Amino acid sequence: MKLALNIIGGLAILMGVIWILQGTNVVAGVPVISHSFMMGKSAWIGNGAWLVAFSAGLLVWNNRRRS
């Protein structure tokens, strides 16, 4: 279970970073992503930041020491 949550948390952080980059038009030159409906929309910056923060919290919670 711990490994699965670590993988999910890591992938969610990666997805959140991609959302942030799309929202800021940083990945505009990437052919697969450049025609996304998310490009240049500031709402995706916030959504990505929320997802990164939530996923980081999940990873911290999952990897804390248990007594």
User: What is the pLDDT of the chain when averaged over all its residues?
Assistant: 88
- How high is the pLDDT of residue 34? 64
Give the global pTM.
0.84
- How high is the pLDDT of residue 9? 95
Question: DSSP readout, 1-67?
Answer: -HHHHHHHHHHHHHHHHHHHHHHTTTTTT-TTTTT-TTTT-HHHHHHHHHHHHHHHHHHHHHTS---
**pLDDT, tens digit, 9 for 90 and up, residues 6-65:** 999 999 999 999 999 888 988 776 666 667 778 888 999 999 999 999 999 999 999 997
- How high is the pLDDT of residue 33? 64
- How high is the pLDDT of residue 4? 94
